C-alpha cells in the first residue's frame, strides 16, 4: 500500500466510488486521505465537550490558597476528568458565594456560625482541611538581632493604638539590643471579611480584656488606632507591610516565607519566646486533639512550644447536593485533600499536616455528604 492510500480507511471501495464520479475531476489518493482525515478531525472536535474535564469551583480563605493551589493542580494531574478552580477571595466572600450557590464548596478559617448556616437554606457539612499559623510581620529600617520580640499584651496594645511609635519604652524594654527607630507604627489589617482576621482577633480577645470589650472577635471588626491601613487577602496585607516603613501586620506563615518578610518572636502563654514555625503550630494543635465546627479555637494554648496564633481552615459543602454527580466529585476531592498524600503537600508549603484525630474528624464529616 502506498503512503497516503485511502485503503487505510475503506479499502478499494472509496477509490471505486471516486472513479465512478465526474471523470473531468482528478482526485488523487492523497486528496481523498486528507478529506477523510478532515472528517475524522471534525468528529473529534464535536466530541471534545463530552470528553472535557468537569470544572469544580470553590471560593474563600486566602490563608489556605498556597496549599489549595498546589493540591488541586496535583489532583487534576491524577484525575484527568476533574479540575478545581479555587477563588482566593477571603473567608467572608467564600461563605457568601457558597450561600448564593455560585460555587461547589467554600472555605473559611473559621467555621460557618449559626446565622450563616441558617442563611445557607439547607444542612451544611463542615470539614477541617488545613492547619497553619499566623506570623506577625514587620518592616523596619534597622536590623534587630534575633528578631523583634513582642509579648502577647504588647501585640494587643499595638493594634489598640496604645503603643504608636517603635521607640516606645515597652518595645525598647523587650528589645534592649535593638536600636528601635523613632518611627510611627502603622498597623496593617485585612480589609475584607477574613478567617485570618478571626483567628488573630480571637487571639487578641484571649490576651486582652480591653480588646475583647472594645473590639471583639470576628471576620471583620472596627480596627482602633489612628494609623491603620487595610489590605485585601493575606497577599494584600503582606504587600502593605513590605511597602510601608514602620508597618506591622499578620499573615499566614506561607506568605511571610514566600515574601521573605521579617517575623517577630512572640512570648506565649507559658512565657516562652517562639517564632511561627511548623513545629510550634503543630504543638499548639496537639494541645487540643479533638476539634469540631463548634469547638475549634486553638489560639493562646499552654505549652512550652505552643505558638499562640494558630488555627484550622474549614471547607463546607451541602449535605445533600442538588447535583449528585458534581457532589460526588467534590466529596472525592475533599477526601483526597484531607488524606495523607495531600497533607504531605501541605507540609512542604509551611503548613502543618492535619493530626490523625483531625483527619478522622474530616473523614466522618464527609461521610455525612449524601451523593
Entry field: residues in the chain: 371
- Other Cβ atoms within 10 Å of 33 Cβ, number: 18
Residue 165 — φ and ψ, nearest 5°?
-130, 150
Determine the pLDDT at residue 27: 37
- Other Cβ atoms within 10 Å of 276 Cβ, number: 29
Quote the DSSP letter at residue 61: -
Domain boundaries, the chain: 7-51, 55-131+316-366, 133-310
Determine the pLDDT at residue 80: 94
**DSSP output for 237-280:** HHHHHHHSTTEEEEEEHHHHHHTT-EE-EEE-TTS-EE---HHH
* Residue 3 pLDDT > 70: no
In angstroms, rounded to a whole number, what is the distance separating the alpha carbons of residues 331 and 263?
37
pLDDT band at 53; cut points 50, 70, 90 = confident
Determine the pLDDT at residue 209: 98
**How confident is the model over 193-205, as a mean pLDDT?**
97
Do residues 287 and 306 lie in contact, with contact meaning Cβ atoms separated by under 8 Å?
yes
Determine the pLDDT at residue 6: 33
Q: Render pLDDT for 74-110 as a digit per residue (tens, 0 to 9).
A: 999 999 999 999 999 999 999 999 999 999 999 999 9
Determine the pLDDT at residue 41: 43
Collect all residues with Cβ–Cβ distance below 8 Å to 164 and sequence separation of at least 6: 184, 185, 225, 226, 227
* Residue 1 pLDDT > 60: no
* Residue 57 pLDDT > 90: yes
Quote the DSSP letter at residue 90: -
Determine the pLDDT at residue 224: 96
In this prediction the pTM is 0.85
* Residue 2 pLDDT > 60: no
Q: What is the mean pLDDT of the chain?
A: 89
Residue 252, beta-bridge partner list:
134
**How confident is the model over 130-155, as a mean pLDDT?**
96
In angstroms, rounded to a whole number, what is the distance separating the alpha carbons of residues 118 and 4?
67
In angstroms, rounded to a whole number, what is the distance separating the alpha carbons of residues 352 and 285?
9
Q: Render pLDDT for 22-34 as a digit per residue (tens, 0 to 9).
A: 434 443 443 344 3
Determine the pLDDT at residue 32: 41
* Residue 242 pLDDT > 60: yes
> For strand 82-88 and strand 105-108, is the pairing parallel, antiparallel, or unpaired?
unpaired
* Residue 43 pLDDT > 60: no
Please give the residue that has the higher pLDDT: either 12 or 208. 208
pLDDT band at 52; cut points 50, 70, 90 = low
**How confident is the model over 184-193, as a mean pLDDT?**
97
In angstroms, rounded to a whole number, what is the distance separating the alpha carbons of residues 169 and 156?
16
In angstroms, rounded to a whole number, what is the distance separating the alpha carbons of residues 38 and 320?
45
* Cα distance from N-terminal residue to C-terminal residue, the chain: 54
For residue 317, what is its C-alpha cell? 459543602
**DSSP output for 191-233:** SS--HHHHHHHHHHHHH-HHHHHHT-SSSS----SSSEEEESH
For residue 244, what is its C-alpha cell? 510601608
pLDDT band at 71; cut points 50, 70, 90 = very high
* Residue 344 pLDDT > 60: yes
55-131+316-366 is classed in which CATH architecture? 3-Layer(aba) Sandwich (3.40)
133-310 is classed in which CATH architecture? 3-Layer(aba) Sandwich (3.40)
Helices 152-160 and 195-207 meet at what angle, rounded to 10? 110
Could you check whether 55-131+316-366 and 133-310 share the same CATH topology? Answer: yes
Lowest-pLDDT range of 7-11, 216-220, 271-275: 7-11
Amino acid at each position: 500500500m502506498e503512503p497516503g492510500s485511502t485503503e487505510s480507511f475503506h479499502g478499494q471501495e472509496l477509490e471505486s466510488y471516486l472513479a465512478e464520479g465526474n471523470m473531468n475531476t482528478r482526485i488523487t489518493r492523497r486528496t481523498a486521505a486528507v478529506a477523510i482525515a478532515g472528517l475524522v478531525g471534525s468528529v473529534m472536535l464535536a466530541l471534545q465537550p463530552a470528553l472535557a474535564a468537569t470544572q469544580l469551583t470553590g471560593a474563600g480563605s486566602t490563608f489556605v490558597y498556597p496549599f489549595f493551589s498546589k493540591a488541586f493542580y496535583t489532583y487534576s494531574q491524577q484525575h484527568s476528568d476533574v479540575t478545581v478552580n479555587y477563588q482566593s477571595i477571603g473567608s467572608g466572600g467564600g461563605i457568601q458565594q457558597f450561600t448564593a450557590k455560585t460555587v461547589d464548596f467554600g472555605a473559611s478559617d473559621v467555621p460557618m456560625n449559626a446565622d450563616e448556616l441558617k442563611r445557607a437554606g439547607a444542612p451544611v457539612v463542615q470539614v477541617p482541611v488545613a492547619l497553619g499559623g499566623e506570623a506577625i510581620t514587620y518592616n523596619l529600617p534597622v536590623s534587630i538581632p534575633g528578631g523583634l520580640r513582642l509579648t502577647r499584651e504588647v501585640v494587643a496594645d499595638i493594634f489598640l493604638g496604645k503603643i504608636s511609635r517603635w521607640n516606645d519604652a515597652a518595645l525598647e524594654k523587650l528589645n534592649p539590643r535593638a536600636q528601635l527607630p523613632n518611627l510611627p507604627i502603622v498597623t496593617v489589617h485585612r480589609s475584607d471579611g477574613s478567617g485570618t482576621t478571626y483567628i488573630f482577633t480571637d487571639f487578641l480577645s484571649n490576651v486582652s480584656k480591653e480588646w475583647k470589650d472594645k473590639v471583639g472577635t470576628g471576620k471583620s471588626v472596627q480596627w482602633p488606632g489612628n494609623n491603620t491601613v487595610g489590605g485585601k487577602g493575606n497577599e494584600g496585607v503582606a504587600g502593605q507591610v513590605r511597602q510601608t516603613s514602620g508597618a506591622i501586620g499578620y499573615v499566614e506563615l506561607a506568605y511571610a516565607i514566600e515574601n521573605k518578610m521579617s517575623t517577630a518572636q512572640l512570648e506565649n502563654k507559658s512565657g516562652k519566646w517562639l517564632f511561627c514555625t511548623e513545629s510550634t503550630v503543630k504543638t499548639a494543635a496537639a494541645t487540643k486533639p479533638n476539634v469540631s465546627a463548634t469547638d475549634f479555637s486553638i489560639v493562646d494554648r499552654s505549652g512550652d512550644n505552643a505558638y499562640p496564633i494558630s488555627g484550622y481552615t474549614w471547607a463546607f459543602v451541602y449535605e445533600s447536593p442538588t447535583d449528585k454527580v458534581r457532589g460526588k466529585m467534590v466529596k472525592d476531592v475533599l477526601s483526597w485533600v484531607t488524606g495523607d498524600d495531600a497533607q504531605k503537600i501541605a507540609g512542604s508549603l509551611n503548613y502543618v499536616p492535619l493530626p490523625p484525630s483531625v483527619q478522622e474528624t474530616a473523614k466522618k464529616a464527609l461521610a455525612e455528604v449524601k451523593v
